[in-house]
Structure 1
Amino acid sequence: MWLACFCALVPLLSSCGQGTTTSSSGDSTTLSILHITGKATPSGALFQKILHDFETQNHVTINQTIAASDATQVYETSLLAHKEADVVMVNLADKATEWSKEGATIDVKDLAQQWGITPQLQPQAIKEWTQNGKLAAFPYNGFKWPVWYNMSLLNSVGVAKAPTTFDEFLADGTKLKNAGKGGFVVGGNDWSGYTFFVQVMESYMSDSDIATVLQNGTYCSNPDAMKGINLFIKLRNSDVFVKDVAGLNADQMNSQFYTGGASMMSAGSWAFAGASKDLTKNIYLGGLPVPSDSPYSKPTAYQGYTSMGIWISPNGQKKPGSGTQVCSIHVLTQSYW
């Protein structure tokens, strides 16, 4: 299948560089990339193959920096020294949401059109990556973020199906705890725990209210946000969470669920590859149970297109040939994924 993909790339790659801005400085035979895909992760080996094949086919050398947990800080520090990577591959979150607005990365909207990439992009992906009329980066991949349920463990304590209501969620947690089995696990000490907290907080909120509260930080003045926060407090004080969940990070969360130490977790599609075949046959992917007075009639889950984008830095814009190289990476990776 990969061979067919490569054959299909030939006409696309031949036209990628048209209209690219170049300068007299820089080295067109090298491309520096800062990214968050660790080599030891489930997708890391595949991504390394992508980069290797790209080097071979385009006769360039890739200098890569992997910063799984602090990529935004690494980029901003190097940017201040004018030594930033040509290309940055991170998700649209945290500090990166300000890069396009502050000129830390370039608008790639016109480049996407010139290189013929725009028709390949999902309209919703373009929408999510557009800020003030600028396309912050080339959308690379999206995500779905369900709640995972190990039905083998749930069945062992008499739970026949994944919970869909908040009351069922609490009751299932009590059954698991009484049986000495782990309940819900999350990285209470990092971003995964914060994101789960926000999802619970949003249990009573409309989409427009969520956007307003998150943008302005008006949590306490929004009654529905406060209802959601109190709901989380109720959840925190219940039997649902595994022991010492507050000290865990996302990697420990995954490990605990993968090894049967927890029956439920909230994790995105990027974690699918880490689950063994023996485990996946027992997994049900659902959503976060909702309270009875929630405006949502079914369990909720995150989904979107902001898992990772391909950003071009000011250094990348100046480098001769970098436009062709960036475009090639984009088309190549799209074919692999």
Structure 2
Amino acid sequence: MRRRVMLAGTISAILAPALSGCGALDPGDDDPETLVFHHSLTAGSASFAVYDAVRAEFERENPGARVKDLVSGGTDLINVYETARLAGKEADVVLVNLAEKSLSWTDYDATVPVGGYLERWGLRDRVLPQALPEWTDAEGRLVGFPWSGFSWPVAFNTRLLEAAGVSGVPRTAAQLVDAADRVRARGARGLVSIGGNDWSGQKLLMQIMQAHLPPERARRLFAEAGFASDAQALRGLEHFVELRDAGVFFDGAQGINADSMNSDFYTGQAAVVSMISGSLASVPPEVADVVELGGWPVPAGGVYDKPTALRGYTSAGLWISPNGEEKIDLVERFIRHLYREATAQRFVREAGEVLALRGPAESPDFPLVAAAVNLPESAVSYAVLPDLHVPPAVSQPLIRATSLAFTPGRDAQSIAADLDTAYRS
């Protein structure tokens, strides 16, 4: 209850002043045959090209129906949607990830539960079974139709490693530190480029901390905090500090973002990155040819006996708004069309998407995405993804705490205190 009251206050404080300008956000059309679709697909991207063709196909097959796009940049979409919703002018269907503020949408009637629709429309069997629990909240409500997921391995540029005298990709923490020493001896800024100033660094910090943290305890800490008083969390953070102080991460990691991290890898400046499958799709062929995927190397005596990776099905889902429920027949036709196996496979094959739907997962034009999806569990263990457990209002303060963690001089106790403060803020 305390969390819900806090979130309500946060949303009101941030979004209420925007109501005076919400007319400009009006997606526009009360026509029952016009579906307003809010997304962040970027014109010129492979995903948008597939979507554009799929939208045209839907309109041809449904004479009189029209799909009107409302496009917002990735981080702006949630704020734009919430502001429009407060004015009753929100889009009918929104495609967005399940994380941070969207975790509270169903609680505040910003979107409607869709479990009943999934059953009535006979679409449950289209969804991978492991995706449904991730999209089901603590009240048992399916908050959105699962659409896309991800695999999040570690990418190693074997050409750079071999040039530095590193034999094989590091699988233990000791091998990782040795590789960092070797690449720095050749003048590199570090071994691992990481967005210490954004979400990518937050995920890696939490993943490294889990080296000494059993999964159930990790879930509890991500939900409730208490890092500074948990001996195993502190041991995991001490391990992070050891890696940082050994020069494993790029110099100035606390100021790097995910875009810079990706660029470092794409241009052959970084030997190692923790890279989500959506970014792996953009690795240039000349780099992809020398990349080996694996997990984050683990220390001796940790709770995982294999390098760790992350995976999940929360990258994007199809959420139905209260406005959309007024056009539910049209919404049904649209979601059914997207959920068709032939339609979904276009996103997999032509755009390298990792979908939460059943069907072949081959992406021949995106070999690293295919390799990430098919990474064998004999090679990696999967750590706990924080997103489904961290309270929505905590996400941004937690990222700020992460930036401090990558700053030289912060010890494990200080980092843990910063993480706990993020929850209290």
Pairwise TM-score range, normalised by the shorter structure:
0.7 to 0.9
Structure with bigger RCO (C-alpha 8 Å, 6+ apart) = 1
Q: How does 1:1-337 map to 2 (within 5 A)?
A: 26-58=30-62, 59-131=65-137, 132-182=139-189, 183-319=191-327, 321-331=330-340, 333-336=343-346, 337=348
Distance apart, 1:169 and its partner CA: 0.9
Q: Deviations over 1:213-262 (max 9, x none)?
A: 01112222221111112222222222111232222221221111000011
- Indicate if the aligned counterparts of 2:72 and 2:80 stay in contact, CA closer than 8 A: no
Q: What secondary structure, in the 3-state scheme, does the structure 2 residue paired with 1:123 have?
A: coil
Whole-angstrom CA distance in 1 between matches of 2:60 and 2:281: 27
Residues 41 and 71 in structure 2, CA contact (< 8 A), matched pair in contact too: no
Instruction: Give the superposition deviation at 1:40.
Output: 4.5
Using the TM superposition, give the Cα deviation of residue 287 of structure 1 relative to its aligned residue in structure 2, in angstroms.
0.4
For the 8 Å contact 1:140–1:334, the answer to whether it is kept is no
- Number of positions where the alignment pairs a residue of Structure 1 with one of Structure 2: 313
CA separation of 1:177 and 1:54: change in aligned 2, threshold 3 A: farther
* Whole-angstrom CA distance in 2 between matches of 1:162 and 1:50: 41
**Paired AA for residue 161 in structure 1:** G
In the TM superposition, what whole-angstrom CA distance separates every residue of 1:2-54 from its partner, at most 9, and x where no partner exists? xxxxxxxxxxxxxxxxxxxxxxx932332222223323445343333333433
SS at match of 1:225: helix
Give the share of equivalent positions with the same residue, in percent: 36
Deviations 1:145-164 (A, max 9, x none): 00000000000011111111
Unaligned residue ranges in structure 2 (runs of 5+): 1-28, 349-425
DSSP-derived class of the 2:105 partner? helix
Q: How many angstroms does 1:289 deviate by?
A: 0.6
Q: Aligned partners of 2:275 and 2:75: how far apart in 1?
A: 17
TM-score (norm 2): 0.70
Would the alpha carbon gap of residues 285 and 198 (structure 1) be closer, same or farther in structure 2, given more than 3 Å must change? Answer: same
Give the letter aligned to residue 169 of structure 2: A
Q: Distance in 2 between matches of 1:145 and 1:89?
A: 21
- Per-residue CA deviation, residues 102-134 of structure 1 (Å, 9 max, x unaligned), is 322111111111111101111111111111211
Normalising by structure 1, report the TM-score: 0.87
Unaligned runs of 5+ in 1: 1-24
CA distance in 2, matches of 1:257, 1:117: 39
* CA RMSD, Structure 1 to Structure 2 (Å): 1.8
